[in-house]
Amino acid sequence: MVALSAVAFLAQPANADIDVYITPGKHNVNGRQWNTACERYSSTVTRCRTDIYATQISLKNGRYVSTNGWVFNNLTYKASPRTQWSNNNLGKTAEWTSADGRRWYTQCDTPTTGRNGCRSYIWGTAISAKASSSGTTYVQQEGWQFNNMVRFTNDVYATYSGTGPKTITLPRGATELYVIGTHRGESNFMVHGLDSGNRVTDYVINEIGTTRGAGAVGIYDDDTTKLDVEADGHWTLVVKPLSAAPTLTASGLSGRGSDILWYYGPARSFTLTHDGESNFIVSQETAEDYRGLVNEIGAYSASRPFLAGPSIIELMADGNWSIR
């Protein structure tokens, strides 16, 4: 099931003309000293380690000790095809506990990570110092600490095409997906998710005729391993991570046909419009709540209240739609 929880982070990346995370050597950026070294992680991926010159506070023999020197900042995996990371938690949205008992969290393609990238965080304890007239106070704080980032050359897991019915086996580990489909035919164009026992897990796309539509896999079930296509004409499917779905912002969004959207903003009202002839159904799901926003047929225009994000918007339409 998709994780929609909000997470607070302790670390902040550097902003500079030079990319200190993938440029080997020592750099002076934003008044800080950085040191980066890169090496082969695999035959196709290069990993860089970046240290920063800083004061590190540690607890030794019951006393807090401050030491100046090079301190680990993060790891960066240089851009590579996303398909290579489909079975690696560092390259997809995930939460897990490692063999040593440490908690990890990865988020991808969000406003924090940027498109075509993931950032992973590890739960740990940080010690900070606060000086005052009466002395220095040390505070231990638990939280998510930035550990590494993975960069991608694209946001596509796979592209499939065919004519007529077909069953597709998805890349191993690709479980939360945004699927874009096109069809040139006259009858139904339906795409269902199937598990290893061929049981239906997701209703991804349900359109008629020559059309374009998008849907999701893995919102409610993580067991999908295949896509079953029903069509009478030529079709294509582009499979991306669910995090690559379009984002609804305060300025609004428009499109045509069914789609999946992300909304990260505050609770507010949007005006929704539709000029089609068939169903116009819009719903919103957060980590804690589900709301049906619209369920009408034909043309539509009305203001509807949206919950605060992060959330997923599921939209079914046969015409042009807008959210403003």
Contact 252, 192 (CB under 8 A): no
The whole-number pLDDT of residue 252 equals 97
- Separation between Cα atoms, residue 301 and residue 41, nearest integer Å: 53
User: 210 Cβ partners below 8 Å, 6+ apart?
Assistant: 183, 184, 185, 186, 233
Positions of E strands within 264-324: 268-274, 279-285, 290-297, 300-306, 311-316, 320-323
> What CATH number belongs to 156-245?
2.60.120.380
pLDDT of residue 9: 35
Domain residue limits, the chain: 25-152, 156-245, 246-324
Residues of the chain with pLDDT under 50: 5-13, 16
Query: What phi, psi does 165 have (nearest 5°)?
Result: -65, 145
Q: What is the pLDDT of residue 76?
A: 98
Rounded CA-CA distance 11/51 in Å is: 13
What does the block give as tokens for 308? 């605060």
pTM of the model: 0.70
Give the integer Cα–Cα distance in Å for 225 and 194.
Answer: 6
Q: What is the per-residue DSSP string for 131-149?
A: EETTEEEEEEEEEEEEEEE
- CATH code given to domain 246-324: 2.60.120.1050
Supply the pLDDT for residue 278.
92
Report the pLDDT value the prediction gives residue 157, as an integer from 0 to 100: 87
pLDDT for res 2: 56
